[in-house]
Amino acid sequence: MKRKDIINNAQRLVIKVGSSLLLTQEGVNFLFIERLIRDIAHLKRENREIILVSSGAIGLGKKELGIDNNLGALPSKQALASVGQTQLMNLYSRFFQKYKLYTGQVLLSAQDLSRRSTYLNARNTLLTLLKLGVVPVVNENDTVAVEEIKFGDNDTLSALVAGLVDADLLIIISDIDGLYTSDPKKNPQAKFLPEISLITKQIEEMAQESCVEGRVGGMKTKINAAKISTHSGIPVIIGGNKEKFLERLFSGEKIGTLFFSPTHRLASRKKWIAYGKSSGGKIVVDNGAKKALIEEGGSLLPVGIKQVQGRFQAGDSVSLVDENNLEFARGIVYYSSKELERIKGAKSSSIEKLLGYKYSDEVIHHDNLVIL
């Protein structure tokens, strides 16, 4: 699909805005919020469905309580987020009301997306809100998020939400206008990249070098979000830093960097395997098994397993890594880590002898496997 068609045909949009746009040194950027909601109202009139993923809770909490130093400890951030999230929703509902739109708050934690039941529940709630014409505003549930399993940044969250609701397009708006070959603030030779058809290693390296917003996120997390989203079959636009960004984008101007999605849409269950569930452990497989999984669409057998890392139960999603510790797939295991310790490297015909029982010849069936 061409750029124009992707944008024109995008019916369900996930739009992510970062704190740096909502909050400036001077305080809340009312002008930005007003324009954002006006543009959203315009897109709604074109019969598009919108989910807004918005940061800003911690920043607004700081502002409200008059705290300007950096509170490192997690409980302090959580407390600030609790204060700031109310402020954030107050702001949004005021502006949405002005355009006669309803909004609703949806706070998600990584755990919610890790269990199939809560994942589906979150999906149903969001889809119901859309059906009711509401513009849901999503943020991470910062007040209860545990550091180790936090999404951590709303770029990643927005990509997961896009996958969760089968969006047609993810738009990440920030204070940078897209991807450059290197940081344009440091290197005047840096070239703007308007379109990316595949996120290669080279592209990822550019993002390491290029603009950092100085808050959570930066280009690196944005590229990572683009990877998750395009892999789920959803194209991404990263841009902003321009007056009336959304208005101009939807009136056909070529602004922002568009990441095409090379794949067909992953089936919903596969999306959940790949991204919904925080992986409980790792299985190191040998090169032969890796090749069979990637090139022949095979299943993972115990014979291909070299090492088992971490603890997990049968039914958990685990990462498959190669001999260089590079993650290349995720899948749902039929055996626990304990059981795999006993059968790794063995032929499937000896599983029963080794364990005294057998659930299956495969450790991960190819239906439960997603190559990343």
142 binds ligand GLU per the rule CB under 6 A: yes
Segment contacting ligand GLU (CB under 6 A): 53-61, 201-209, 226-234, 344-352? 53-61
56 binds ligand GLU per the rule CB under 6 A: yes
57 binds ligand GLU per the rule CB under 6 A: yes
141 binds ligand GLU per the rule CB under 6 A: no
Per CB under 6 A, the list member of 53, 216, 238, 318 interacting with ligand GLU is 216
| H or E element at residue 292 | helix 287-295
**Inter-axis angle of helices 219-231 and 154-164, nearest 10:** 10
CA 317/CA 314 separation, integer angstroms: 9
Interior/surface letters 325-354, b for 16+ CB within 10 angstroms, e for the rest: eeeebbbbbbbbbebbeebbebebeebeee
274 binds ligand GLU per the rule CB under 6 A: no
Segment contacting ligand GLU (CB under 6 A): 124-132, 139-147, 187-195, 357-365? 139-147
Minimum Å gap between C-beta 327 and ligand GLU is 23
Taking the CA of residue 138 as centre, how many other CA atoms within 13 Å lie in the half-sphere pointing to its CB?
31
Residues of span 71-130 touching ligand GLU by CB under 6 A = 81
Per CB under 6 A, the list member of 10, 13, 19, 329 interacting with ligand GLU is 19
Minimum Å gap between C-beta 190 and ligand GLU is 24
Q: Which of 200, 220, 202 is nearest to 210 (CA)?
A: 220
Contact track, ligand GLU, 144-173, x by CB under 6 A: ---------xx-------------------
217 binds ligand GLU per the rule CB under 6 A: yes
139 binds ligand GLU per the rule CB under 6 A: yes
| H or E element at residue 257 | strand 257-259
Residue closer to ligand GLU by CB (options 57, 219) is 57
368 binds ligand GLU per the rule CB under 6 A: no
- Six-digit token string for 109: 């934690």
Segment contacting ligand GLU (CB under 6 A): 101-109, 188-196, 215-223, 358-366? 215-223
Minimum Å gap between C-beta 285 and ligand GLU is 33
> Could you report how far apart the first and last alpha carbons of the chain are, in Å?
22
DSSP code of residue 325: -
Question: Which residues on neighbouring strands pair with residue 54, listed in sequence order?
Answer: 17
63 binds ligand GLU per the rule CB under 6 A: no
Q: Which of 137, 201, 213 is nearest to 175 (CA)?
A: 213
CA 97/CA 99 separation, integer angstroms: 5
- Six-digit token string for 21: 């746009």
Minimum Å gap between C-beta 308 and ligand GLU is 33
CA 314/CA 334 separation, integer angstroms: 5
Residue closer to ligand GLU by CB (options 114, 154) is 154
- List residues binding ligand GLU (CB under 6 A): 18-19, 55-59, 81, 139-140, 142, 153-154, 215-217
